[in-house]
Structure 1
Amino acid sequence: MMLLDELNKRMLTADGAMGTLLYSYGIEYCNEELNIQRPEVIEKIHRDYIAAGADIIQTNTYGANAHKLARYGLEDQVKAINKAAIAIANKAAKDGGQFVLGTIGGIRGIRQSDATLDEIVAMVDQQAQHLLSGDPDGLLLETYYDFEELAATVTHLKKLTDAPLIAQLSMHEPGILQNGMSLNEGLKRLDALGTEIVGVNCRLGPHHTIQAFEGVELPEKAFLSAYPNASLLDIEDGRIVYESEADYFGRAALLLREEGVRLIGGCCGTTPKHIEAVKKRIGHLQPITEKKVEEKKPIVIREAEALKDKPLHEKAKTERTIIVELDTPRHLEIDKFLEGSKALDAEGIDAITMADNSLASPRISNMAMGSILKHQQDVRPLAHITCRDRNVIGLQSHLMGLDALGIHDILAVTGDPTKVGDFPGATSVYDVSSLELIQLIKKLNEGISFSGKPLRKKANFSVAAAFNPNVRVVERAVARLEKKIEAGADYFISQPVYTKEKIIEIHEATKHLETPIFLGVMPLTSIRSADFLHNEVPGIKLSEEALDRMRACGDDKEKATAEGIQIAKELIDTAAELFHGIYLITPFVRYDMTVELIRYIRQLDLEKASDRAYA
């Protein structure tokens, strides 16, 4: 417990970034593999920090877990890499008696890892066992954006070892965690779990780190730590740079001390010069033992405005609900689209749904067209949002814009990869999956931004998720639906289905779910389009019967249209019996075909109601 004894008596200076120095050496591969391949480089960095005055150094193992090493095909090297790292650090600290911390990095960020919490804890256990075999003075848990992950990690490690734990959260916004919890509350909870040292690291520079600690009370038992970045990062000639001067970083350490922080090191962008400046400023000082935190008035988050119309997912639980997809134009002429939307609305549909650059081909923004539908035609728009085209910044901005426009119906989808569209060389973003996007949208409904910052008002999004039942084992697709329900999906919109048997199979596989499903039906227009849908469009498969019937129409367009409508009506006969929600997909802006199908559904419902009344 010597580390804690020293912290009880004096300020301690930790080391700075490892990756920053390796990056400056031109190393941009797997930093942790260097523990085996180039141990002398890692040892030199440790010794440089020690020479700068660091009382504590940490092992080069931030990403040395199976999950992160798998990116480089090194997941079977967890033992070798961690054991080498602790040996190198112990060797470097032997002469000067510096404390050595075994470092374990967080896995989750804005994007939730595919690994479950149990799998993450198992990987932490594996890494910790190898680090602890080298008898470190403590374990440093750093760069944890997800509070749940850090709490679970601390809880497990407290069962595994008596070595002190330093648990450090990371913030996108000063004083606020990603889940909307205050930093003060998060550190209190870590203290209550028995964590010996609690604090923050990464993402924010000195200024915002100090600002965050202004609202932090001194913990009941734990000590406070801070490892800020050198500054906010910048890009210069394609390389990441940090603009902070070492003396500024040292002066910031003094202000962190005034906020009760006892252990101060550096994260991204910091070098031995920064640590030397910290040591010079605080190395001779005693820690602060009393602190008064002024209570700040909480930001009031207003309730969302009441919706004019009943949410689609509520209506579809008990009564017929029809939504129609109408593609926005791929050109700048919008008259036919608006003509179609008027005709569809006149049939009493519940919403017009618009894809988000389907098949990765640019179309007029569905936000723009949705605004025109809502405000000029009083038509209810349902906007698709893909994860493909926008990073998390763009996604949040886009959603905030939709809320401002009064567009509350959303379909969250992954999005077709760019290689299938008009610009195959364009970049697919995929910062988050559709599952994670649903979760983030639901945070907006609580008035909390993706980064945890309060938004002053709650959004009121009704969130649909995509359902592709055209798979061999539909139960696997249903298992995916259950995960989306857990993430917050309010209802599902399916890909078009082309056999009665598949519709019945879907109903049997999903009848245990309370979440409504809008069953997709798309009329065929020709054998060419049918072949294209069947063979080239992801998630769509036609029956051989449908293909044969369209093939029999040959080049007769009128006959093909009539046959396509007839096939769709036969599918609707089954779908309307089993599902309240029907999703009609308009082919090639042929809204006349969709109008006929809407009227057919209404007639079926009238006949059914009449039969009930007669009975």
Structure 2
Amino acid sequence: MNPLLSKLHNNLLVADGAVGTILYSEGIDTCPEAYNLTHPEKIERIHRSYIEAGADIIQTNTYGANFEKLKPFGLEHKVKDIHQAAVRIAKRAANDQTFILGTIGGFRGIKQEDLELSSILYHSGIQIDTLVESGVDGLLFETYYDLDELTQVIQETKRKYPELPLIAQFTALNTNYLRDGTPINKALKQIIASGANVVGLNCHHGPHHMQESFSHIELPENAYLSCYPNASLLDLENSEFKYSDNAAYFGEVAKQIVDEGVRIIGGCCGTTPEHIQHIKSAVKDLTPITQKNVIPFEKHSNRTNHTQPNHNLTDKVKSRPTIIVELDTPKHLDTDKFFRNIRQLDEADIDAVTLADNSLATVRISNIAAASIIKQQYDIEPLVHITCRDRNLIGLQSHLLGLSLLGVNEILTITGDPAKVGNLPGASNVYDVNSKGLTEIALRFNQGINTDGDALKVHTNFNIAGAFDPNVRKLDGAVRRLERKSESGMHYFLTQPVYSKAKIKEVYEATKHLDTPLFIGIMPITSYKNALFLHNEVPGIKLSEEVLQKFEAVKDDKAKTKELSMRISKDLIDTVHEYFNGLYLITPFQSVEYTLELANYSKQITTNTNKQEAIL
């Protein structure tokens, strides 16, 4: 049997604590892993301090040394060098009784990552091969949020190195579930089945909540348990984040964690050699347990949200012609005109009104406030845009929960224009997730699961729209992006305004293989100046010289300009209804009279078509 696994058979082992915590306290100005090359003596000193504190196991300073995490520091070409140096440093510090684990951190964190699993396996493979070739005693995979990622990495590593001990640790945002709602106990069993020899948890929680988590975890039959808690919850003191100075307490709770069946116990963020010294002192006379009573936890129980509509927009547009109208909320608090327009759209029997979310990064009245009033006072369905630009993960989730509470189920997820294009260019962009990441959150809410894996207790019923811009040079590339959005779970799409019948047909041919419906955007031109702007300044939109000349000819006559605009728009609507059920009318400059006329025209031609088909 491998020496590390043989030692674990009858013994508890104490691991080291954080490296970054010490380096940051000393004023590090780059990533901790870079110190393997620039300040090896400091890393060696930290390793030695943990060994002197009683650590039986130390880990290489390579947690964040993958290609993606090194890229912001310009060190992505140094992946192998950093790992090789890390093992050399650890070996210099270690004694004959010290085990050295090569550390690999997860790629998929709390934020949405677009990196494909194949790329993750490739980059992880470089780290793994370098660590193994450099002579580590085992591998520690830590801070993995994603079950699929860790499963695949463990399987691939076990295939290549079947005799090497593998320690695999999740980071869970609550005490019972991973962020996808998988019970921690079930996830650990899956990782064991994939080939891990030791499984457990690290980071996010302090010792108290870690003990609570392990009270629900069964003793594995063919593996061991590990636990690396944070020092505590984070606190803010004098504008700086810090962990509690609680090393003695850490040691006391360590005994309780050992009583839950853990055989490797170390520390994560905020822990120091003092914490490890107290752990060693607390557990040195203990022996591993072989039996335990597992405390059952309350499983997810979700009831249905009874605000679910009988027919959402996806169902409607698949069965009949459907009209959506976009109407921006005002930039001021004089809302009389806005709600008069809403009333007219409601009376015109429009299927939904879309409410942009500070479009073009310009401050407007909250669309969730407008949607609330619309739900209370009108029958038209609000379709609320949600941009990832203005809210972090906390705010986005709160926003979604609030919308569900109001009974607003139609949403459009968008990444959002950067702040620099708007009227406050100095404002911060958040972008914790992109539109696909926000869609993932909304879909999990529909399953009754929060992003930390906990139960919402009531399912949401979001019907999720996405944006599609067909006004690009290469439509096939845009369609591939559309396909990925559809695969992420978006239910239907709204396009940017289209000004060419040929483009409408081209979009149909390029997307007809998809089951997700499209609402084709039509926005009337209000003036010759507006036509020039669209033609010259909006990417992808080109009006024909003939159309520009027609608008120029009537530029001084508002009535003739509107007549021309309506004629062109109606011609486009004719083509839309040849190929699509979904019509998305974009109201120009709050001029709802344009939209109402086009909506009425759309209803007339689709009604006449249906009558003719019925006669036939």
TM-score range, shorter chain: over 0.9
| 8 Å contact kept, 1:403–1:460 | yes
**TM-fit CA distance, 1:192:** 1.9
CA distance in 2, matches of 1:566, 1:481: 31
| 8 Å contact kept, 1:497–1:542 | no
- In the alignment, which residue of structure 1 is the partner of 2:613? 612
CA distance in 1, matches of 2:160, 2:508: 48
- Check 1:30–1:546 CA distance in 2 against 1; reply closer, same or farther (3 A cut): farther
User: Which one is further off, 533-542 or 469-478?
Assistant: 533-542
- In the alignment, which residue of structure 2 is the partner of 1:128? 128
CA distance in 2, matches of 1:69, 1:546: 52
| 8 Å contact kept, 1:206–1:228 | yes
CA distance in 1, matches of 2:185, 2:452: 16
CA distance in 2, matches of 1:232, 1:292: 28
Provide, for residues 327-352 of structure 1, a one-character-per-residue CA deviation record: whole Å limited to 9, x for no partner: 11110011111100111111111001
- In the alignment, which residue of structure 2 is the partner of 1:147? 147
**TM-fit CA distance, 1:540:** 5.3
1:184-203 to structure 2, matched below 5 A, reads 184-203=185-204
| 8 Å contact kept, 1:495–1:540 | no
SS of the residue corresponding to residue 450 of structure 2 reads coil
| 8 Å contact kept, 2:350–2:380 | no
Q: Which amino acid aligns with 1:310?
A: H
1:17-56 to structure 2, matched below 5 A, reads 17-56=18-57
- In the alignment, which residue of structure 1 is the partner of 2:101? 101
**TM-fit CA distance, 1:542:** 4.5
- In the alignment, which residue of structure 1 is the partner of 2:507? 506
- Check 1:552–1:209 CA distance in 2 against 1; reply closer, same or farther (3 A cut): farther
**TM-fit CA distance, 1:563:** 2.2
- In the alignment, which residue of structure 2 is the partner of 1:349? 350
- In the alignment, which residue of structure 2 is the partner of 1:160? 160
2:70 is the alignment partner of 1:69: yes
SS of the residue corresponding to residue 362 of structure 1 reads coil
| 8 Å contact kept, 1:356–1:384 | yes
**TM-fit CA distance, 1:138:** 0.6
For structure 2, the 5+ residue unaligned runs are none
Provide, for residues 545-595 of structure 1, a one-character-per-residue CA deviation record: whole Å limited to 9, x for no partner: 444433333243333222222221111111111110000000111111100
**TM-fit CA distance, 1:534:** 4.2
User: Which one is further off, 416-425 or 565-574?
Assistant: 565-574
SS of the residue corresponding to residue 134 of structure 2 reads coil
**TM-fit CA distance, 1:30:** 1.9
CA distance in 2, matches of 1:80, 1:543: 58
CA distance in 2, matches of 1:121, 1:73: 21
| 8 Å contact kept, 1:305–1:460 | no
CA distance in 2, matches of 1:549, 1:130: 68
1:328-343 to structure 2, matched below 5 A, reads 328-343=329-344
**TM-fit CA distance, 1:612:** 2.9
CA distance in 2, matches of 1:514, 1:589: 33
| 8 Å contact kept, 2:305–2:459 | yes
**TM-fit CA distance, 1:536:** 4.4
- In the alignment, which residue of structure 1 is the partner of 2:595? 594
2:444 is the alignment partner of 1:476: no
CA distance in 2, matches of 1:229, 1:531: 59
CA distance in 2, matches of 1:533, 1:211: 60
- Check 1:600–1:412 CA distance in 2 against 1; reply closer, same or farther (3 A cut): same
Q: Which amino acid aligns with 2:558?
A: K
2:218 is the alignment partner of 1:217: yes
SS of the residue corresponding to residue 296 of structure 1 reads coil
**TM-fit CA distance, 1:377:** 1.6
Provide, for residues 236-282 of structure 1, a one-character-per-residue CA deviation record: whole Å limited to 9, x for no partner: 33332111411111111111111111111111111111111111111
- In the alignment, which residue of structure 1 is the partner of 2:375? 374
| 8 Å contact kept, 1:171–1:178 | yes
User: Which one is further off, 600-609 or 20-29?
Assistant: 600-609
SS of the residue corresponding to residue 354 of structure 2 reads strand
Provide, for residues 503-538 of structure 1, a one-character-per-residue CA deviation record: whole Å limited to 9, x for no partner: 111011001111100000011112333334444456
CA distance in 2, matches of 1:386, 1:581: 23
- In the alignment, which residue of structure 1 is the partner of 2:586? 585
1:114-513 to structure 2, matched below 5 A, reads 114-161=114-161, 162-305=163-306, 307-513=308-514
CA distance in 1, matches of 2:488, 2:507: 21
| 8 Å contact kept, 2:308–2:407 | no
* Identity level (%): 51
Compute the RMSD of aligned alpha carbons. Answer: 1.5
SS of the residue corresponding to residue 582 of structure 1 reads strand
CA distance in 1, matches of 2:473, 2:219: 58
CA distance in 1, matches of 2:545, 2:36: 59
SS of the residue corresponding to residue 317 of structure 1 reads helix
**TM-fit CA distance, 1:471:** 0.5
- Check 1:545–1:69 CA distance in 2 against 1; reply closer, same or farther (3 A cut): farther
SS of the residue corresponding to residue 124 of structure 1 reads helix
Q: Which amino acid aligns with 2:145?
A: Y
Q: Which amino acid aligns with 1:175?
A: N
Q: Which amino acid aligns with 1:503?
A: I
- In the alignment, which residue of structure 1 is the partner of 2:92? 91
CA distance in 2, matches of 1:395, 1:539: 31
Q: Which amino acid aligns with 1:375?
A: Q
- Check 1:535–1:392 CA distance in 2 against 1; reply closer, same or farther (3 A cut): farther
| 8 Å contact kept, 1:12–1:283 | no
**TM-fit CA distance, 1:306:** 6.0
CA distance in 1, matches of 2:251, 2:7: 21
- In the alignment, which residue of structure 2 is the partner of 1:78? 79
User: Which one is further off, 129-138 or 237-246?
Assistant: 237-246
For structure 1, the 5+ residue unaligned runs are none
SS of the residue corresponding to residue 316 of structure 1 reads helix
Provide, for residues 400-426 of structure 1, a one-character-per-residue CA deviation record: whole Å limited to 9, x for no partner: 000000000010111110000111011
Provide, for residues 378-406 of structure 1, a one-character-per-residue CA deviation record: whole Å limited to 9, x for no partner: 22110000111111111111000000000
| 8 Å contact kept, 2:60–2:86 | yes
Q: Which amino acid aligns with 2:513?
A: H
- Check 1:146–1:514 CA distance in 2 against 1; reply closer, same or farther (3 A cut): same
User: Which one is further off, 365-374 or 3-12?
Assistant: 3-12
**TM-fit CA distance, 1:543:** 4.7
2:552 is the alignment partner of 1:551: yes
- In the alignment, which residue of structure 2 is the partner of 1:5? 6
Q: Which amino acid aligns with 2:280?
A: K
User: Which one is further off, 280-289 or 458-467?
Assistant: 280-289
SS of the residue corresponding to residue 332 of structure 2 reads coil
- Check 1:539–1:11 CA distance in 2 against 1; reply closer, same or farther (3 A cut): farther
Provide, for residues 101-137 of structure 1, a one-character-per-residue CA deviation record: whole Å limited to 9, x for no partner: 0000000012232221111111111111100012111
User: Which one is further off, 2-11 or 386-395?
Assistant: 2-11
Give the TM-score normalised by the residue count of structure 2.
Answer: 0.97
- Check 1:16–1:253 CA distance in 2 against 1; reply closer, same or farther (3 A cut): same
SS of the residue corresponding to residue 215 of structure 1 reads coil
- Check 1:158–1:503 CA distance in 2 against 1; reply closer, same or farther (3 A cut): same
| 8 Å contact kept, 1:191–1:220 | no
- Check 1:428–1:92 CA distance in 2 against 1; reply closer, same or farther (3 A cut): same
- Check 1:541–1:99 CA distance in 2 against 1; reply closer, same or farther (3 A cut): farther
CA distance in 2, matches of 1:614, 1:285: 87
SS of the residue corresponding to residue 133 of structure 1 reads helix
CA distance in 2, matches of 1:574, 1:413: 27
CA distance in 1, matches of 2:251, 2:533: 65
SS of the residue corresponding to residue 65 of structure 2 reads coil
